[in-house]
Amino acid sequence: MLSGLVIVDKPQGWTSHDVVGRMRRIAGTRKVGHAGTLDPMATGVLVLGINKATRLLTYIVGTSKTYTATIRLGESTITDDAEGEVVSRASAASVTEDAIRSGVESLTGEIQQVPSSVSAIKVNGERSYARVRSGEDVQLAARPVTIHRFDIHGIRRDQAAGHDTDVVDVDVTVECSSGTYIRALARDLGNSLGVGGHLTALRRTSVGPYSLDQARTLEQLAEDLEVLEMSQAARALMPNRNLSAEETTEISFGRRIAAGAAAGTPAAATAEKPAAAFAPDGSLVALLADSGSFAKPVLVFAPGTGPGGSNSSAPGGSNTSGTGGSGTGSGVPGRSGADGGGQA
């Protein structure tokens, strides 16, 4: 059975769910999931898991993401990006480069960010975007995110198409923690400068250790399905632990073994951030968490061969596909996850 990660260069206009559906047909399996939603407007890296590799997706969702983007100052939209209706305009002619750079600096580091109201965050059991679409004024609570890098590459002055409003387009690169909304950064930068702002372009260039260099279009994948084998995927994603033959046998039955070298330190493997354990032949056996003097399996991928053997899952393992949904709506698109990933 084919299992592994597929790094897709998502096309504009496609939901992440659309891409999952297409990959199910290409790979010939229903068990396909993704590691963090990209809005339809966005392009770039979308990590998919096939079959057993869907179990790795939960550990990819929480990794940092990197984007290139264009922020337009002088216009605000209902969705904080170019897919939504413009709700206000203000000339950005007097906004200086120094002011823009100062605004970007204030949005770098650990910040409190209010997600876009047109998101899939639930408010009293209902998606926020659905409430906005029905005319409700939704105010979401701020949440902590980390902007590791917010670099400006270009500042261009223009006029909005069909209007005499002076706008400023700012090309940026953002490296951020999981859960960050890039369109909320655009909104907040514009608001801090008193002219409003929204996102006009977004391309995700990396998700954790996986980058555009590895990504392929759906057309390319339909011709030649390139799959990152599970052992390779896990080696790049997690701390590595090489097992002896005896340890491999024990873990394959879901039993404990001696803790790893980092046990008792901040670098110790945990259930949330496990280590990838490899058999002497280099194959991925399990994901391990240290607990005291022992390491125990979080997930087991290599099945045992006798009584008590595991069929690719250990206590705490997941059998879900990891597939994220993607809401849609007329006029106000539904958004399933943060532009920076981590919500779906």
Local mean pLDDT, 10-residue blocks, the chain (344 residues) = 95 95 97 92 97 95 96 95 93 97 98 81 62 65 95 93 87 96 96 97 97 97 96 96 96 93 90 95 95 94 46 40 34 44 33
CA distance 82 to 77: 7
| β-strand pairing of 32-34 with 143-159 | unpaired
The radius of gyration of the chain's CA atoms, rounded to the nearest angstrom, is: 22
User: Of 172, 175, 167, 253, which is closest to residue 207 (Cα–Cα)?
Assistant: 175
Structure tokens given for 1: 């059975």
> Which pLDDT score is estimated for 300?
93
CA distance 118 to 131: 9
Contacts of 70 (CB under 8 A, 6+ apart): 169, 170, 171, 172, 199, 200, 201
Whether 39 sits among the annotated catalytic residues: the reply is: yes
> Which pLDDT score is estimated for 14?
95
> Which pLDDT score is estimated for 314?
39
> Which pLDDT score is estimated for 30?
96
- Number of Cβ within 10 Å of residue 112's Cβ equals 9
CA 214, distance to chain mean position in Å, is: 16
Exactly one of 9, 39, 81, 188 is catalytic; name it.
39
**Are the C-beta atoms of 85 and 75 separated by less than 8 Å?**
no
> Which pLDDT score is estimated for 334?
44
> Which pLDDT score is estimated for 132?
62
Q: Model's pTM, two decimal places?
A: 0.85
**Maximal C-alpha separation, the chain:** 76
| SS3 call for 240 | strand
CA distance 67 to 173: 6
Give the type of residue at 254.
G
> Which pLDDT score is estimated for 319?
36
CA distance 300 to 327: 33
Name residue, tokens 């990660």.
Answer: 5
- Count how many residues are written for the chain: 344
Contacts of 3 (CB under 8 A, 6+ apart): 50, 51, 52, 53, 227, 230
